[in-house]
């Protein structure tokens, strides 16, 4: 049997709040009504969604899997509501962006600020996502543009290179390498490095930079995102390996960005679906971001 929209709404509310009472407050519906609807939903599906232990609800693995699909539905609903609000308020348009987490902390805020100065009535929606989610957001029409320092590969996408984005070592100001204009990868092998696991896309670039398996350094500290590595370097946890955009345009206390001499880079590209012409606003934002990168 299928779930109807009301059952989906109540299920999501229970998952978000963690309780029947929380869902009741969120939806302005009585607790007994929430309980009855959830019991009916489980019976209708023939699937246990929650285990009840000592008066508390614990989602089953099946419920967590279902929540991912429900959230995707709600993202589509939010997209519809955004368009409806723009039309009702007579706004000039909207711009929906997705970007890599580190770009969302450095270059994107500055580009968006410049863009909004010229277009104060435009709604700007920004999502920071991993490459796989960025690709899905683009292809499903949830966003207009994606700005990524990792490749998004699909035959329906068009890419424009913004900057090659070198890999740098964030070195403590009192470290012997801090005064160097550049370093080779081999010079970093014996240092306390902050790097990435093998399942992190940027980590694959770092591994490529060091070459063969025998030349790979021992990463004693591993993270998933470059801006976390930068924060750890600032705290004195070691030398972080990040892309240059992670420290773009800002001064970071206690660390110095030393370029690494390598052909490997984390090129920043802007992506869009090639079968759909870009809006005037999207084209202007591309120009704004391109000018900022070149500057």
Domain ranges of the chain: 5-70, 91-164+268-294, 167-259
Is 70 exceeded by the pLDDT of residue 127?
A: yes
Name the E strands within the chain: 50-53, 56-59, 94-99, 123-128, 145-148, 157-163, 167-172, 193-196, 221-223, 239-243, 255-259, 268-273
Determine whether 248 is exposed, middle or buried from the number of CB atoms within 10 Å of its CB (0-12, 13-18, 19+).
buried
Most confident of 1-5, 91-95, 136-140: 136-140
pLDDT of residue 194: 95
Rounded Cα distance between 85 and 126, Å, is 17
Which helix (H) or strand (E) segment holds residue 113: the answer is helix 107-118
Q: Which residue has the tokens 């591994």?
A: 207
CB 253 within 8 A of CB 172: no
Task: Give the pLDDT band (50/70/90) at residue 106.
Answer: confident
CA distance linking residue 18 with residue 25, whole number of Å: 12
pLDDT score at 193: 95
| Secondary-structure class of domain 91-164+268-294 per CATH | alpha beta
Strand partners, 50: 59
269 pairs with which residues across the strands? 148, 161
Do the first three CATH levels of 91-164+268-294 and 167-259 match, i.e. the same topology? yes
Among 166, 165, 217, which Cα is nearest to 188's? 217
Residue 98 has pLDDT above 90, yes or no: yes
- Environment class of 45 (CB within 10 Å of its CB; exposed 0-12, middle 13-18, buried 19+): middle
**Using CB atoms within 10 A of its CB, is residue 270 exposed (0-12), middle (13-18) or buried (19+)?**
buried
Protein fold of 167-259: D-Maltodextrin-Binding Protein; domain 2 (3.40.190)
DSSP 3-state of 23 = helix
pLDDT value, residue 191: 92
> Is the pLDDT confidence value at 295 over 70?
no
With residue 285 as reference, give the H or E element that holds it: helix 280-294
CB 183 within 8 A of CB 209: no
Which pTM does this prediction carry?
0.63
Contacts 24+ apart (CB under 8 A), 29-36: 34/10
- CATH 1.10.10.10 matches 5-70: yes
Res. 1 pLDDT band, cuts 50 70 90: low
State percent of the chain over pLDDT 70. Answer: 97
Residue 71: phi and psi, rounded to 5, are -65, -35
Evaluate whether 169 touches 177 at the Cβ level (below 8 Å). yes
pLDDT at 86: 65
Q: pLDDT for 146-190, tens place per residue?
A: 999 888 999 999 999 998 889 999 999 999 999 999 999 999 998
For residues 194 and 237, is the Cβ–Cβ distance under 8 A?
A: yes
pLDDT at 105 (0 to 100): 84
């Amino acid at each position: 049997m299928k779930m109807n929209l009301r059952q989906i709404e109540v299920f999501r509310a229970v998952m978000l709040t963690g309780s029947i009472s929380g869902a009741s407050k969120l939806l302005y519906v009585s607790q007994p009504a929430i309980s009855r609807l959830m019991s009916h939903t489980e019976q209708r599906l023939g699937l246990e969604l929650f285990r009840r232990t000592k008066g508390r609800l614990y989602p089953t693995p099946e419920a967590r899997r279902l929540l991912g699909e429900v959230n995707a539905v709600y993202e589509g609903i939010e997209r519809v509501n955004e368009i409806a609000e723009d039309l009702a308020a007579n706004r000039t348009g909207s711009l929906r962006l997705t970007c890599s987490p580190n770009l969302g902390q450095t270059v994107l805020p500055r580009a968006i600020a410049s863009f909004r100065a010229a277009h104060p009535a435009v709604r700007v929606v920004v999502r920071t996502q991993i490459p796989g989610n960025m690709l899905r957001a683009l292809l499903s029409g949830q966003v207009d543009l994606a700005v990524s320092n990792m490749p998004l590969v699909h035959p329906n996408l068009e890419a424009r290179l913004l900057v090659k984005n070198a890999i740098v070592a964030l070195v403590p100001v009192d470290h012997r390498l801090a005064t160097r204009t550049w370093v080779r990868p081999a010079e970093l092998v014996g240092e306390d490095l902050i790097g990435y696991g093998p399942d992190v896309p940027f980590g694959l670039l770092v591994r490529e930079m060091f070459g063969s398996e025998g030349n790979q350094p021992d990463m004693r500290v591993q993270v998933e995102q470059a801006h976390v590595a930068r924060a750890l370097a600032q705290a004195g946890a070691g030398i972080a390996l990040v892309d240059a955009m992670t420290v773009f345009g800002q001064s970071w206390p206690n660390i110095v960005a030393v370029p690494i001499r390598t052909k490997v880079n984390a090129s920043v590209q802007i992506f869009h679906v090639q079968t759909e012409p870009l809006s005037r606003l999207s084209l202007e934002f591309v120009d704004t971001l391109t000018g900022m990168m070149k500057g």
